[in-house]
Amino acid sequence: MGGTYEPIDSVRGITNKSSGKMGLELAKEAYIRGADLKLVVANVSVEIPSVFDVIRVETSSEMNDVILNLVPAYDIFISTAAVSDFEFRQKSDKKIDSSSSLFLNLKPTTKTIRQIKKYNPDIFLVGFKAEFNISREDIIGCARKQIADAGTDLVIANDISKNECHFGSDNNEVLIVDDDVLSVPLASKKEIAKTICDVISKKL
């Protein structure tokens, strides 16, 4: 859960605005329902209750390694983290001089979600897909592409350009996509977590 951080040098890096709020609400709801949980947590703006077993990571590479080590032992994996899509080809172990222009050479990060079923073919895999200012049909198309590419059993898709649905908001409006599409209107992330867990329970 949360957003990963990719270092440029010893003091700078790139990240995203993911807060970890949706991931935490899902963890709370699963815990209430009796699930045995482990949270892999990157950069978040929420406080994680001490009741949870937490592994802290920073970069997409660290998150990938930890998750692939864990998934063989679990029945469900919910991929709420906003993992960086790019990392730097060369990272400086010193602070880069800021007196001149800087050109950054990026490469794609490993798509962890596409590896999960290779490590545990029987795991129930839930993906998230955040898009920006695209149509409902296109969001559904993106979700179904993830299903095809990663073998996700369920995708929670949303448009973060919508009012009250941006990264860090307390509310959201989502589409829950598999063979069918369930539209969940604007609600608190706590209520959305309950709906997602209800759907997962029915699918198992």
Indicate whether 91 pLDDT > 90: no
Report how far residue 43's alpha carbon sits from residue 172's, in angstroms, rounded to the nearest whole number: 20
Residue 187, in any domain of the structure:
yes
- For residue 64, give Cα distances in angstroms to 125, 153, 155: 15, 20, 19
Query: Does residue 153 lie within any of the structural domains?
Result: yes
- Whether residue 102 has pLDDT greater than 90: no
Cβ neighbours of 34 (radius 10 Å): 6
Q: What is the identity of the amino acid at 184?
A: V
- Domain CATH code at residue 77: 3.40.50.10300
* Range(s) of the domain holding residue 20: 6-85+107-203
Q: Is the pLDDT of residue 202 over 90?
A: yes
Instruction: Return the pLDDT at 136.
Output: 95
65/145 Cα distance (integer angstroms): 24
Flag whether 98 is in a domain: no
Residue 181 forms part of a structural domain: yes
Q: What is the pLDDT of residues 114-135, one digit of tens each?
A: 999 999 999 999 999 999 999 9
Instruction: Judge whether 96 lies within some domain.
Output: no
54-56 and 39-41 beta bridge pairing: parallel
The answer to whether residue 92 is domain-embedded is: no
Please check whether residue 101 lies inside any domain of the structure.
no
Q: What's the structural domain count of the chain?
A: 1
Q: What is the DSSP string of 109-162?
A: PP-GGGTHHHH-TTSEEEEEEEESS--HHHHHHHHHHHHHHH--SEEEEEETTS
Quick check: 92 pLDDT over 90? no
**35 assigned to some structural domain:** yes
